[in-house]
Structure 1
Amino acid sequence: MKTALIYISRHGTTEIIAQHLAALIGSNVTLYNLENEPDPVITDYDQVIIGGSIHYGSIQDQVKNFCKRNLATLLDKKLGLFICCILDSTDSGQFSRAFPAVLGAHSVAQGIFEGDLIFKKLNFIERILFKPSVDGQDVIKINEKSIASFIKDLAVPHGFQRTMPTPHIPSKC
């Protein structure tokens, strides 16, 4: 199955996870970083995976815009959606706000993969905002269980659609 894995990464974690997903899927995966290629053509792909990171409660505009521009095409593809986030979020509100509801309902795989918070990668304002919540320490929390569950869900045959897929939500993300 020919797969397009489309992502954007602010501090590098989402890119690492996208590369990890590509390796787990195997051959025939093309990675597209929306920072370098803002509008990849997806018509020739059987499966599309889209991911980004949550900053200040929202996914990157590039992901939102890509989804809006390609909504009709995405609804004809086998679809996986994921986010990376680091702060405590026991509800799935961040995920549901990240992607259009129609794409969430259409997707066969959804994931919240947590992430990392490396202080030297943060700007001044981000350091001030995050320092109290994590005591100024680097935090690395990639949720391998959630990634494995996402890969398993991708194995669902195209055409099978759950009524309301529920992302694996770790206790903290």
Structure 2
Amino acid sequence: MAKALFLYSSREGQTKKILHYIEEQLTDFECEMVDLHTVPTVDFSHYDRVLIGASIRYGHLNKKLYQFIEQNLEHLERNKVAFFCVNLTARKEEQGKDTPEGSAYIRTFLKKSPWHPELIGVFAGALYYPRYGLFDKMMIKLIMTLTGGETDTTKEVEYTNWEKVALFSQKFVDL
């Protein structure tokens, strides 16, 4: 059976939830999931595919993602590795914010990163207001007010388009 490694950088868990969904789609793969923040290097020779998923928080990907890329650049470029980004702006599908071309976060990623993955996905995340501390709750509410999103801090709202994730899963298999 083919093996896939899923590396994730997740704050609230939606990135990991998306990876679990992708794992369900990959019936011909044995999948291993690892927190990107806990592993400086990976032995890529053990895997047929590698998928890196990372979330945006306050407009930025975690700096550990960039450190991992720098430390593993040669392997990332030589192997079948894909990347996806999770953010709340991607909920605006009608504006193309859920595509690599329409995502400001992906444009920034590609400028900052020496690695340019062959396959990139952009998925809307989730709002988990009740789980946030007071500071995060108020900051995210402000951001959502400015961007026309949900501002009721008693709600949890999942924006992820699971059909889009399923299509990405197939492209990942076909890499």
What is the TM-score of this pair, normalised by structure 2?
0.77
| 2:53 alignment partner in structure 1 | 51
* 1:120 and 2:130 aligned: yes
Residue of structure 2 aligned with 1:76, choices 59, 78, 92:
78
Query: How far apart are the structure 1 equivalents of 2:3 and 2:132?
Result: 35
State whether residues 112 and 146 of structure 1, in contact with CA within 8 Å, keep that contact through their aligned partners in structure 2. Answer: no
Matched residues in 1 for 2:83 and 2:169: separation? 11
Q: How many Å apart are 1:22 and its aligned residue?
A: 1.6
Residue 16 of structure 1 is matched in structure 2 by: 17
Q: How many residues align?
A: 155
The correspondence of residues 117-156 of structure 1 with structure 2, limited to 5 A, is: 117-132=127-142, 133=144, 134-136=150-152, 137-156=155-174
CA distance in 2 between counterparts of 1:2 and 1:39 reads 17
Provide the C-alpha distance between the structure 1 equivalents of 2:66 and 2:131, rounded to a whole number of angstroms: 24
Q: Who is 1:169 aligned against?
A: none
Residue 19 of structure 1 aligns with an amino acid whose one-letter code is H
SS in 1 for 2:56: strand
1:102 positional shift: 5.0
Task: Tell me if structure 2 keeps the 8 A contact 1:111–1:146.
Answer: no
Tell me the percent identity: 22
Q: Structure 1 counterpart of 2:8, which letter?
A: Y
Match of 2:105 in 1: 94
Q: Runs of at least 4 residues of structure 1 off by over 4 A?
A: 99-102
User: Which runs of 5 or more structure 1 residues have no equivalent in the other structure?
Assistant: 158-173
Unaligned ranges ≥5, structure 2: 145-149
2:147 paired residue number: none
CA distance in 2 between partners of 1:57 and 1:41 (Å)? 31
Higher helix share: 2
Q: Deviations over 1:71-112 (max 9, x none)?
A: 1011111121101111366332202323555533x42x2211
> Secondary structure at the residue paired with 1:75?
helix
Quick one: distance in 2 between partners of 1:101 and 1:153?
A: 22
**Aligned partners of 2:85 and 2:79: how far apart in 1?**
19
